[in-house]
Chains A and B, each alone.
Chain A
């Protein structure tokens, strides 16, 4: 999937993946896509909740070897 920005939150626990996502989205333009990698399994539900509550869209969540990749499109 194409993306405009990415960052790696591997090894970070709740709530850091969410807080870093929020910060990363802050300087992006509407419609741009952020790629985020995390290893905190709690992030799967948290990212969805973040998207639901902020209006950004979680395009996809992929899991491979205990690592989660999220694509979030900015509102």
Chain B
């Protein structure tokens, strides 16, 4: 019987989107059966269009910046878009896969994506904006799988 891994993805920013997709795709390549439960802001990672997944230098003091940037500057309009653009360029330059590519690789490797129905209702998300390979469920449904895993991570 194959090993299993479960991940709970709760964040919807560019930096925090990578760990769940990288770990899920890698575990699947190693033969793990993988499920990712997307809840709260993590649901943003299931949108067909991921162009609004951004990174913010604000309240993110550990983010390496080319020049030191005071918080007062970080909050100016356009800073988030600029930081996102720069981060995406950096990722590309270093040969790191895009989120779309990693997500596709997960799906290709039969990683199962579960969207938290409660959060979908809470934020009044339109399911038609999400990719099709998603199952909707609740915490109990996820526990049915997570309770039997070798690795379970909260991101």
- Interface of A with B (CB < 8 Å)? 11-16, 18-19, 21-22, 40, 50, 53-54
Contacts and interface: CB of A to CB of B under 8 A. Distances in A.
Nearest to B24: A15
Interface of B: 22, 25-26, 29-31, 94-97, 105, 109
Main secondary structure of the interface of B (DSSP, over half): loop
Contacts of A16: 95-97
Given A14-B96, A19-B29, A22-B109, 18 more contacts: A12-B95, A13-B95, A13-B97, A15-B22, A15-B25, A15-B26, A16-B96, A16-B97, A18-B29, A19-B25, A21-B29, A22-B29, A40-B95, A50-B29, A50-B30, A53-B31, A54-B30, A54-B31
A19 to B, nearest CB: 5
A13 B18 CA distance: 13
Contacts, number: 34
Contacts of A50: 29-30
A18 B26 contact: yes
Contact of A53 (B30, B95, B105, B109): B30
A19 B105 contact: yes
A12 B29 CA distance: 16
A7 B46 CA distance: 31
B73 to A, nearest CB: 30
